[in-house]
Amino acid sequence: MKLVTGNSNRALAEAVANHLDLPLTDCTVKRFADQEVHVQLHENVRGEDVYILQSTSTPADGHLMELLILADTLRRSSVRRITAVIPYFGYARQDRRAVGRTPISAKLVANMIAGTGVHRVITVDLHTDQIQGFFDIPTDNLYSAPVMTRDIQEHYDAKNLMVVSPDVGGVARARAIAKRIGTDLAIVDKRRPRVGVSEVMNIIGDVSGKSCLLIDDIVDSGGTLINAAEALLKSGAKEVSAYITHGVLSEGACERIGTSSLKELVVTDSIRETEAQRQTPNIRRITIAPLLGEALARTAREQSVSSLFS
């Protein structure tokens, strides 16, 4: 078993390698002067079971190309099996044609990954479950729920908690957390007048006097979370925090969250931490390295991965 990484999230790759008690494969991933990706392996991988750990986070195009070229390098180096471990799968929000004359980019990216010779994909909290069907190769979608549940139990009193889904589409995800910690569920009814903008219409459920936890898979600009937090506080919530798997946190998001009414935003390390995140006092990170490490170990041993979440 070999573990290779690009430049998207080396810290997470090193944490997974430590969990597996396995050194990262010696590999150079750099750029030519015109920014073309250049990859070179510095050790023999012939006949090996190789895992590429690479999130397709900002810059999404560059990190996606690193993943594709790493896979091609391994295939041409005669490895036995290639597994792409993509903690954050970019382009997942473009999973359908919501309006006319638009692409389904998630399907295109799935085709590109499979076309390089990758045998299996492992990812975490896909934006929508149907993206698994976009791949014509085996795909395991891991869930961060056990990691989040453990952290919630360590930091919050379940007796006064209310789990909240920030939109109707995330109800299943939020319900899974609520079931694990034994709390009720509320839903924020919102609409999007245009891409990247959300408006809260109603709060479904009684949140009066409750400590609310917003649960979602992606936080980008932070607008949805901030609007939801303000609406919950106006509806009588005692305080509002959020647990989000993928902290995309595009430019300006950390500043908005830092000055918002959110008590705390907890994100996983599926995406590399930025300096802005480190300097924002109400953003905290939890690691999914043990979860990924155990999933990789079970895959290598041909054991059940789904039993991790049962």
Q: What residues are annotated to the active site? A: 190
Angle at 176 between CA 173 and CA 179, to 5 degrees: 150
Q: Return the structure tokens found at 50.
A: 């190789």
Gap between the Cα atoms of 82 and 300, Å rounded: 11
Backbone angles phi, psi at 128, to 5 degrees: -140, 145
N-terminal to C-terminal alpha carbon distance within the chain = 26
Among residues 69, 83, 76, which one has the least CA distance to residue 137?
Answer: 83
> Residue 201 CA to chain centroid, in angstroms?
27
Gap between the Cα atoms of 244 and 242, Å rounded: 6
3-class secondary structure, 224: helix
Among residues 144, 192, 146, 148, which one has the least CA distance to residue 168?
Answer: 192
Gap between the Cα atoms of 302 and 296, Å rounded: 10
Gap between the Cα atoms of 19 and 15, Å rounded: 6
3-class secondary structure, 245: strand
Q: Tell me: cis bond preceding 87? Omega within 30 of 0 counts.
A: no
